[in-house]
Chains A and B, each alone.
Chain A
Amino acid sequence: MENKNIEKNLFLKQLNESGALGFDKDFIATSYDVNFDILGKAFEGTGRTYAKLTMAIENNTCVSENCEHERKQLNILQEAPQKSLDFLSEIISQLSVVEDPNFDPNNNFKYTIANSILTEKPGFSKSHGYDMVLKILKNGSLELTFTGPMFEEPLVLNSSALESLQQLGVSIVAETPDVNTLMMKLLTNIGLFTADQLIDGELSPTAVIADEFIAKNPDGSYDYEIIDIGNGKGRNILKFDMDRITRKAMPFINAEVAGVLSSEQDAVALWNVYIAKGTSVEEDAQMVQNANAANESWSYEEDLPLSQDKKVLFESKYIEYFMNNYLSQFITDKLPTVEEDAAVFDLAEAKKAKAQKFIEDNQL
């Protein structure tokens, strides 16, 4: 199932983005009928029913005692137009997620097809065998059914089921949170940057980690690491107190993970699209297109609710992703802030000087 979802979702995505249909002779030769007229069909004959019910109540010719049934049906009809619009609007809203750039292709592919019909994507018209039908059920709920060649069986959505999910804040299509927004927000919250490094709550382009997290010698001077830049030359780079950084940042990172896990479907989407493979930000752009977490993907149908093991795994990978892709840039190859220490120097001399200092410091 997982492979089928990925395969079909990515196929549909590529079909729409590649413009391949523009070069398909059969497609351009076929008529394009998208007049599904779902509301017209759903309310067909309702005017007559409405009139009959009203008359029965007014003339006291109801079948049921005290016209209970007739009144109930009349009420359903009166509410139906607003309910229908609300229902359709909810479906359009939830299915629109499939068009997000970071959409998780592990979502059920039928929703992508349904969205293609609703938004009149090329190839999903009535002429191509697709249809959608809205029904007002006796209990007052509404039912929208999608059919067509790519569906293995009709996709049926019920308004009352959707409403109950809404109450829980659950969607039928998982929306992948924007990992960059989450991580940048986390970066500003973990307490490694001073207030003057933030502009309107966001890190300034020149932001650097606070001085207290930079490793220092007992005399207060910076403890540099010397790197070989070739041709016998070297440079100092700052060393960071990783233990202190970790101790400061971890409570915030853990809280962030707890926040993400408050919506497990979001966590699954994040896992599938960004976290599972432990890739770089650049690679992620590719992943959404064609790789994704593939066989490491979690299934919405089978893995929700998430087991404790998966939550723990998610947390560790999330932290790893944050450290590698976001924090790392602030603690890797950072030049000294003291101007004279930032200059290029002769590596051999520096090593000799360092050895001499060691001898003097230790009175050897």
Chain B
Amino acid sequence: MPAAAIIGAGLKIAGGLFGSSAAKRRARRLARQLRAETKKLNALENSRQQIVNPYSNVTDVSNLAVSQAQKISNPFANLSVATKASEIQMEQSDLALANTLDTLRATGAGAGGATALAQAALQSKQGVAASIETQEAQNEKMRAQGQQTMEQQQVAEAVRVQGVQISEAGRTQQLKGMGRNIQMQMRETREQDGVNYQRDKIAALTGAVNKAKNASTNAITGMLSSFGGGLMGM
């Protein structure tokens, strides 16, 4: 009975002291374990991968659908009237007139012949002018038709682009929403798991620490009954 001799207060105190000290040691060890487990849990939580939105990199690609409307042009917008041909025709008329006049002079024809010839030349030139007018009218008509077709195509393209933009934006929003939802669910589950785990662990260890502390206190209370009164009489 080693402690009995140490403190000289009987077997009960000796046993109590060693019983209490064992419980104290157990409590201390459990308290350290509790601290370590808590730290470990915190470290684990901190080191876990970040919850990422799997759709966070989804981008709106509607800008890829570029309107081609500006590239649509009226192929008849710059139609030119073929005046060169008319000029040649007129030049030819003048040349023919000059040649005829030379012939008339050589053959001694009268002024009446020259007048008739001049009228013919004039008629020819008038024909050329009429041809130019016809061409211009035709061109104007084609230009108008081209403009109408171009405008129709521009509207159709704008409608197509708008459709793509709306569809893509809708898809992006939907994916973002789904991503956010998954993110929230994962975080919720994880945090709840972590909290539960920590709570369970701490509760178990805290209970064990308290139990060990109580065991130590009870042992000392037991010793006091055989020790306290006697000491006061010394």
Give residues in A with beta carbon < 8 Å to B: 34-40, 43-47, 50, 77, 81-82, 85-86, 88-94, 96-97, 118-120, 132, 166, 169, 171, 175, 251-252, 254-256, 258-263, 266
Q: Which of B5, B31, B41, B234 contacts A34 (CB 8 A)?
A: B5
Classify the interface of chain B: helix, strand, loop or mixed: helix
The residues of B that contact A96 with a CB separation of less than 8 Å are: 21-22, 25
The residues of A that contact B40 with a CB separation of less than 8 Å are: 255-256, 258-259
The residues of B that contact A119 with a CB separation of less than 8 Å are: 2
| In contact, A263 and B36 (Cβ under 8 angstroms) | yes
Q: Which of B21, B47, B234 contacts A43 (CB 8 A)?
A: B234
- A-B residue pair count with CB separations less than 8 angstroms: 131
B81 CB–A CB distance under 8 Å: no
| In contact, A44 and B35 (Cβ under 8 angstroms) | no
Classify the interface of chain A: helix, strand, loop or mixed: helix
| In contact, A38 and B6 (Cβ under 8 angstroms) | yes
B228 CB–A CB distance under 8 Å: yes
Beyond A85-B220, A92-B18, whether A37 also contacts B8 by CB under 8 A is yes
B37 CB–A CB distance under 8 Å: yes
State A37–B17 Cα separation when bound (angstroms): 14
The residues of B that contact A35 with a CB separation of less than 8 Å are: 5, 8
Count, chain B residues at interface, CB 8 A: 44
The residues of B that contact A40 with a CB separation of less than 8 Å are: 7-9, 234
The residues of B that contact A251 with a CB separation of less than 8 Å are: 44, 47-48
| In contact, A93 and B25 (Cβ under 8 angstroms) | yes
Kindly name the residue among B42, B224, B232 whose own CB sees the greatest number of chain A CB atoms within 10 A: B232
State A184–B121 Cα separation when bound (angstroms): 120
State A336–B224 Cα separation when bound (angstroms): 66
| In contact, A120 and B234 (Cβ under 8 angstroms) | no
CB distance from B28 to the nearest CB of A (A): 7
Beyond A40-B9, A92-B17, A254-B43, whether A85 also contacts B223 by CB under 8 A is yes
B190 CB–A CB distance under 8 Å: no
